Amino acid sequence: MAEKLLITINVTNREGQESAIENRPGQDNLMQLLYDADQDIEAVCGGCASCATCHVLVSDDWVQRLPERDDIESMLLQYQENFDQEKSRLSCQIKLTQDMDGLSLRIAPEE
């Protein structure tokens, strides 16, 4: 079996600083990667989709390339002050895959 290549996730934090984080796809969900990289993701519920403290805003060019939100994710996000119908996602609900190499996002403002 071929070794999976690293993927790069481009992150803009709440202060506007940009970073590129590398990881192997399939190891984590996006929330865990952001949390481990100290990107100001609280992840209070540990990735159970019950708190929305891992809210991110996906860049325009990636919105259609990610799997759609399910009903639970949509319900949690719609009550967030910084909800964006197109860009808002819970990072805990996005599994890292090879196809996500180059994903760009911004950490949502703190509620």
Q: How does pLDDT run across 42-96, given as a tens digit for each residue?
A: 999 999 999 999 999 999 999 999 999 999 999 999 999 999 999 999 999 999 9
Its pTM stands at 0.92
- Separation between Cα atoms, residue 25 and residue 65, nearest integer Å: 16
Q: CATH number of the domain at 7-107, out of 3.30.365.10, 3.30.420.40, 3.10.20.30, 3.50.50.60?
A: 3.10.20.30
* Cα–Cα nearest to 30, from 78, 62, 72, 76: 62
